[in-house]
Amino acid sequence: MLVILGVIAFSLFGYCSKRSVNPITGETQYVSMTVDQEIALGLQAKDEMASQYGDFEEGTAAASLVNEVGHELLQNSDAGRSSYRFEFHLLQDPKTINAFALPGGQVFITRALLDRLQTRGQLAGVLGHEIGHVIARHGAQQMAKAELSQGITGAMVMGAYDPSDPKGAAGVAMVQLISKAVNLKFGRNDELQSDKLGVRFMSQSGYDPRAMIGVMKILEQAGGGGRQPEFFSTHPNPENRIDRIKTAINEYFPNGLPSGLKP
């Protein structure tokens, strides 16, 4: 009995205490899932995300634009140095104003949000923010905090999952894990960090980072009728978010903004 308990404790210890330094944010993190497991989970969960938000819009000019701007950010900023496998999706939902990121690099924006954006730089701001969530591993951190009902971790599910046996115990746990991933809610500090990372990635890609302030104003206006855009329910809206973005811009460009930035 003691031996068994010891083995369980040892494996839990192994899962819970993987200390790593994030190569892009420089933070020391304790995340149980490996990067490969995060990528696999994102791929497993992306269709569930699509089914909740009106399915993927594919093959249109708007879908190509989302993909193009996403990859432009990866090619020109520190975001491209990560090992995540990014995909940028447009979701057809015409009502839900939102953008999402799953662990591992699946990034989504809804039609309702895309249609409200006025410039390519604003799209870069939204996608840069979502890329920030992936790179800072906010999803994996949130899932490490929120244990599944049996007290097992995402890393254990991903480690035990056998695609050829989807009805087995690990398959059942996987369904739960996917639902967690799709319905993730980030905290205030996660949002502020992602805003800052978004400012960094879009600036490195030659975009005017003030477009990120424009995104926040568009979201505020969309909530003008009383009901807040869904973006704010999954993305808590600190009162001074715009001020913090301005501070991030000043930190990034201490000598002022250069000329010739893309709008």
Please report, as ranges, the residues that interact with Zn ion according to CB under 5 A: 191, 194, 235
By beta-carbon proximity to Zn ion, the closer residue of 93 and 191 is 191
Residues in a beta bridge with 21: 28
Q: Do the Cβ atoms of 95 and 111 come closer than 8 Å? A: no
118: how many CB neighbours lie within 10 A of its CB?
12
By beta-carbon proximity to Zn ion, the closer residue of 210 and 235 is 235
Rounded to a whole number of angstroms, the minimum distance from the CB of residue 136 to Zn ion is: 10
By beta-carbon proximity to Zn ion, the closer residue of 46 and 235 is 235
Rounded to a whole number of angstroms, the minimum distance from the CB of residue 118 to Zn ion is: 20
Rounded to a whole number of angstroms, the minimum distance from the CB of residue 119 to Zn ion is: 20
Write down the residue that tokens 């989302």 correspond to: 66
Rounded to a whole number of angstroms, the minimum distance from the CB of residue 101 to Zn ion is: 7
Cα separation, 33 vs 24, whole angstroms: 18
Rounded to a whole number of angstroms, the minimum distance from the CB of residue 20 to Zn ion is: 22
237 closest CA partner among 253, 215, 252: 215
By beta-carbon proximity to Zn ion, the closer residue of 106 and 194 is 194
Which tokens sit at 60?
């249109």
Q: Do the Cβ atoms of 147 and 22 come closer than 8 Å? A: no
Rounded to a whole number of angstroms, the minimum distance from the CB of residue 194 to Zn ion is: 5
* 3 state DSSP class of 106: strand
DSSP element (H, E) containing 89:
strand 87-91
Cα separation, 130 vs 215, whole angstroms: 13
By beta-carbon proximity to Zn ion, the closer residue of 194 and 203 is 194
| Angle of the 35-52 helix axis to the 169-182 helix axis, nearest 10 | 70
DSSP letter assigned to residue 185: -
Please identify the residue of the shown chain whose CB is closest to the bound Zn ion.
235
By beta-carbon proximity to Zn ion, the closer residue of 114 and 174 is 114
